Chain A
Amino acid sequence: MSVVITEPNDHEQHDHEHEHHDHKPAGIKRWLYTTNHKDIGTMYLVFALIMFFIGGAMAMVIRLELFQPGMQFVEPHFFNQMTTVHGLIMVFGAVMPAFTGLANWMIPMMIGAPDMALPRMNNWSFWILPFAFLILLLSLFMPGGGPSFGWTFYAPLSTTYSGDSTALFVFSVHIMGISSIMGAINVIVTIWNMRAPGMTWMKMPLFVWTWFITAFLLIMVMPVLAGVVTMVLTDKYFGTSFFDAAGGGDPVLFQHIFWFFGHPEVYIMILPAFGIVSAIIPTFARKRLFGYASMVYATASIAILSFLVWAHHMFTTGMPVFATLFFMYATMLIAVPTGVKVFNWVATMWRGAMTFEVPMMFALAFIVLFTIGGFSGLMLAITPADFQYHDTYFVVAHFHYVLVTGAIFSIVAAVYYWLPKWTGNMYDETLGQWHFWCSLISVNMLFFPMHFVGLAGMPRRIPDYALQFADFNAFISIGGFLFGLSQLIFVWVLIKCARGGVKATDQVWEGAEGLEWEVPSPAPYHTFETPPVIK
């Protein structure tokens, strides 16, 4: 896609003037009252980083207990709270808000809009989020502890057999859902209405496209999640029997509703990552993205197929064999558009002129490691084999490859890629390379051996295990601790870059194309108050 900008002559000066009159209150009020997409984007990203470390600390507790067989550090009941809250925080607190933060910062700048379409709602959708997680985290200190039924909260473990904190869990998930829905509405309205003149649909950067499709997934499935948590609430406290056979309900119904939300949710966490990688690879290969149109169509196909595969999470629940066959075929089909994406990225690299700065390194690692996660996903689709893989560490390995080395690596790549635009300073390349290589090695020590542990028969979500798994678990735990430590380098890089460094140019990267690289670095508080014209 080629974007040519003809800016109004007074644009530069106009922006400059505005820096002195942006009318933002000082101190905490600036952040509480802000309706500025850049401020809100920053808050989302900082919040996601804090949640990433809190969820990560829980993962460290899990790996510490699993370092050796036997119970050493925590009780099984607390262990279950850690696995549950780790999952909830990483999905709803780290990955999703990080993508929303990137959307806030970048979508208006990429389509030539002055801000998000609904700025006050934008403020609200962020500011309810800290309270949602405060409620969730404080529930851990209740008598009986926090939620301990897994982030998937299968009934009746989460209804009849759960502790008193369940009401808080439900309330907190509701707030997270409301926040996500508002964020998604904002993205759709912004993209639909606020594109600069000449920014036609098929000229939009892929990050905008993938977020646009993700936002539709969000507004379609978050209400389903709200529905299912409400059913859990009424089953537990108000005497309904949606999931209780004794009252005419069915516990498997819970899983159908949950995964009807849960599978599209998986793509909510990966489609924006596809957009990020599709921005980074062409920049550092100095070559246009291969097959732009097919990338858009592949994203849309993945989104549509994601509504037809939910029951592949439920092959062992005893579905009729023909339903099982349908879900197996539909799941295998998703490999096709996903494959197209990977092939297009490799074709983009082919005969380019590549350099390997940190964003490129994370993007390349994303392609390889996400594809490994995709391969194990394809294996899991083969239903008879799934009976052996299901609920073992093979599955844990699979979804951490797509979520950690997939979604989170893409977020880290995006942060390195756009950080000079946000702060006006280049990050420390040497430290960034250290962060990359430490993360790459430790993350594979952490998750790759899990495939073998799972194939050998270790179930997931257990605090204690048979002796044969001991050596592997010790090794995995060491990988986990190293991966946790490696992320401290990231914080160091971020703080260092925010405080100063080599001044970034407007274009930042030699091969970068797009509207966000036309504005000064750091991006002024208000950009594109007069829309650019794209030819």
Chain B
Amino acid sequence: MAKTRSIRWSLPTLLLAASANAAAMPLNMTKGVTEISQEVYSLHMLIFWICCVIGAVVFGIMFVSILLHRKSRGVQPAQFHESTKIEILWTAIPVVILIGMAIPASKTLIAMDDTSAADVTVQITGSQWKWHYKYLGSDLEYFSVLATPREQISNKFDKGENYLLEVDRPLVIPTGQKIRLLMTSDDVIHSWWVPAFAIKKDANPGFINEAWTRVDEPGIYRGQCAELCGKDHAYMPVVVVAKSPEDYAAWKLAEETRIAEAKAAEQELLAMNMDMSELMDNGERTYIAYCAACHQPNGAGLPGIFPALAGSDLILNDKTAHIDIVLNGKSGTAMQAFGRQLSLKELASVLTYTRNAWGNDTGDAIQAADVYKVQQGEGE
């Protein structure tokens, strides 16, 4: 949050200025790094000061009254209890203030709504509990998941600087260009929020929302999912890296090459057999990263919400159905289609792992080719 540090003390605080430990947290809304976010900040400060002035006047009069008009000072209560003139006055003055406030707010709102003439369009899809970024007009697409190790969350390891605000693959955008963001969701409602851009937009399943931004400063900008989306709502951060157009082009080329190479490697993998220990090692890693949030590290699931894998009927008795549910998910539940998210190697490993861990002693080694067959619709 380096961007927000410089404005740390711009909001006067009565209660908390004394807290010496507050140094790491900004005490006010971020100004952000876009024209829109700075307008939003100005609106926030304008309405804040208006409230402060009204508060000072009203509470001031009230406290003067509390000091002066007390029975212990021997005062006699006055008899007045009505005045149409003053009632009209204190109805009209707030109306005028509010109109003054509504005009700049409307202008900013209308500017935020204009998503036309974008240079780059990225489709953002939320799912429990990760983001997927797809660059429209290109093959480039990938998932972005929390990179904080589980051991930090469970307090086994010390927490890193960007605890819960770090991902494996951030969204990368070019600076100085208008970026259009299309938001949707695969399951429940999520909300994609980056404070530095003043963008918070709900990702609704089955519908597409739009937002836009233009970032001038290269840098790393962090945010989080803002709409309660289930158990791991706290664990789906957003990280955006803004690069100069040259760096962005180089990054994009490298990513596209990497994806093409990975596809080629998968084809080679189909002809190979991995040994059991390699499959189990890889499988455990993948399981912890993608499956353990729901099915739990010990495969016991959470009764009533997430089914147990240890001793699961489906795993022990129907290998093809097992491969199929991992590849294609189960609609109407939180079980996602991992065929889209994981490589063949990862899929084969995690399938092997779940078929052999926690007393599921099927002895099966699932190979990339087995997964590929089911994927192509030629199950055993």
Contact = CB atoms under 8 A, between A and B. Distances in A.
A291 B98 contact: no
A34 interface: no
Contacts of A287: 77-79, 81
B164 to A, nearest CB: 5
Interface in B87-133: 87, 90-91, 94-95, 98, 101-102, 105-106, 108-110, 112-113, 128
B51 A375 contact: yes
A461 B233 contact: yes
Interface string B58-101: 11011001100111100111111111001100110011001001
A459 to B, nearest CB: 5
Contacts of A325: 106, 109
Interface in B180-233: 183, 187-189, 191, 193, 195, 198-202, 204-207, 209-210, 223-233
Contact of A464 (B40, B70, B153, B209): B153
Contact of B234 (A293, A333, A463): A463
A459 B232 contact: no
Contacts of A385: 29, 40, 43-44, 47, 105
A80 B19 CA distance: 30
A244 B198 CA distance: 29
B69 A462 contact: no
A339 B188 CA distance: 39
B30 interface: yes
Interface string A210-245: 000000000000000000000000000000000011
A469 interface: yes
B162 interface: yes
B109 A471 contact: no
A392 B69 CA distance: 41
A299 to B, nearest CB: 14
A156 B26 CA distance: 35
B206 to A, nearest CB: 2
B69 A354 contact: yes
Nearest to B63: A368
Interface stretch (B242-250, B301-309, B354-362, B366-374): B301-309
Contact of B62 (A142, A367, A388, A444): A367
Contact of B233 (A288, A332, A452, A462): A462
A150 B188 CA distance: 13
Given A352-B77, A388-B40, A391-B200, A459 B225 contact: yes
Contacts of A459: 193, 224-226, 233-234
Contacts of B333: 160-161
B188 A471 contact: no
A27 interface: no
Interface string B235-264: 100000000000000000000000000000
Contact of B209 (A80, A318, A352): A318
B13 interface: yes
B369 to A, nearest CB: 33
A164 B307 CA distance: 13
Contact of A355 (B36, B72, B206): B72
Nearest to A145: B304
Nearest to A339: B94
A70 B200 contact: no
B98 A333 contact: yes
Interface in A277-336: 285-294, 316-318, 321, 324-325, 328-329, 332-333, 335-336
Interface string B1-38: 10010000001010110010110111111100000100
Contacts of B162: 466
Nearest to A390: B200
B270 interface: no
B204 A318 contact: yes
A325 B55 CA distance: 26
A471 B78 contact: no
A383 B304 CA distance: 40
A144 interface: yes
Interface residues of A, number: 105
Given A77-B231, A317-B202, A144 B302 contact: yes
Interface in A240-259: 244-246, 250-252
Contact of B195 (A150, A328, A379, A388): A388
B189 A349 contact: no
Interface stretch (A88-96, A175-183, A340-348): A340-348
B110 A69 contact: no
Contact of A455 (B15, B29, B223, B233): B29
Contacts of A469: 25
Contact of A292 (B28, B70, B81, B227): B81
A445 B19 CA distance: 12
Contacts of B43: 382, 384-385
Determine which residue in B36, B65, B201 has the highest number of CB atoms from chain A within 10 A of its CB, and name it: B65
Contacts of B90: 339-340, 343
A342 B69 CA distance: 18
Contacts of A340: 87, 90-91
A71 B155 contact: yes
Interface string A144-158: 110011100010110
A475 interface: yes
A16 B43 CA distance: 65
Contacts of B47: 378-379, 382, 385
Determine which residue in B25, B86, B102, B229 has the highest number of CB atoms from chain A within 10 A of its CB, and name it: B25
A331 to B, nearest CB: 10
Determine which residue in A156, A252, A462, A466 has the highest number of CB atoms from chain B within 10 A of its CB, and name it: A466
B313 interface: no
6 contacts: A161-B187, A294-B87, A321-B110, A384-B40, A391-B226, A460-B228
Which 3 residue pairs are nearest across A and B when measured between Cβ atoms?
A144-B304, A245-B206, A318-B209
Interface of B: 1, 4, 11, 13, 15-16, 19, 21-22, 24-30, 36, 39-40, 43-44, 47-48, 51, 54-55, 58-59, 61-62, 65-66, 69-72, 75-83, 86-87, 90-91, 94-95, 98, 101-102, 105-106, 108-110, 112-113, 128, 152-155, 159, 161-165, 183, 187-189, 191, 193, 195, 198-202, 204-207, 209-210, 223-235, 302-305, 332-334
Interface of A: 69-72, 76-77, 80, 142-145, 148-150, 154, 156-157, 160-161, 163-165, 244-246, 250-252, 285-294, 316-318, 321, 324-325, 328-329, 332-333, 335-336, 339-340, 342-343, 346-356, 364, 367-368, 371-372, 375, 378-379, 382-385, 387-388, 390-392, 444-445, 448-449, 452-453, 455-457, 459-469, 471-472, 475
Given A316-B202, A351-B80, 18 more contacts: A69-B164, A154-B188, A154-B227, A164-B304, A287-B78, A318-B183, A328-B109, A351-B75, A354-B70, A371-B59, A382-B47, A384-B36, A388-B40, A388-B44, A390-B226, A459-B225, A459-B234, A465-B164
